[in-house]
Structure 1
């Protein structure tokens, strides 16, 4: 297993209905992502480049939220 540098973290933008995801960061820059509402669904891992691309798109409003 990769070294975890920050355990599961829920966004401060979480709604009262828990419509969000949780993230966990690894030393190599990759990020695990899981559904807050159903933690029985396995998490998936995103490499650092993919995560940074996602963050850039989200900050530019690319997802309409």
Structure 2
């Protein structure tokens, strides 16, 4: 996993917000995907740093987060 300043960030149209986001909380993230990476950023700081995660790492994170 890397934290990077956007060099060539995904276009704004590629980012989507979590379906669990209510708009009233402070913990919203946005995600953009490609074939070889998943980008994650804070929805309140769209010009700030983002995480770059490989597909396997993202799948492991989502699986972990989905457990009860």
TM-score normalized by the length of structure 2: 0.70
**Alpha-carbon displacement from aligned partner over 1:25-65 (angstroms, at most 9, x marks no partner):** 0022x20000011122121210011101101101104xxxx
- 1:19 alignment partner in structure 2: 27
Q: Does the alignment pair 1:40 with 2:47?
A: yes
SS in 2 for 1:56: helix
TM-score normalized by the length of structure 1: 0.73
Unaligned ranges ≥5, structure 1:
none
Q: CA deviation at 1:18?
A: 4.8
Q: Write 1 or 2 for the structure with the bigger share of strand.
A: 1
Unaligned ranges ≥5, structure 2:
1-7
1:27 and 1:53 map into 2 onto residues whose CA distance is 16
The one of the two structures with greater contact order (alpha-carbon pairs below 8 A, sep at least 6) is 2
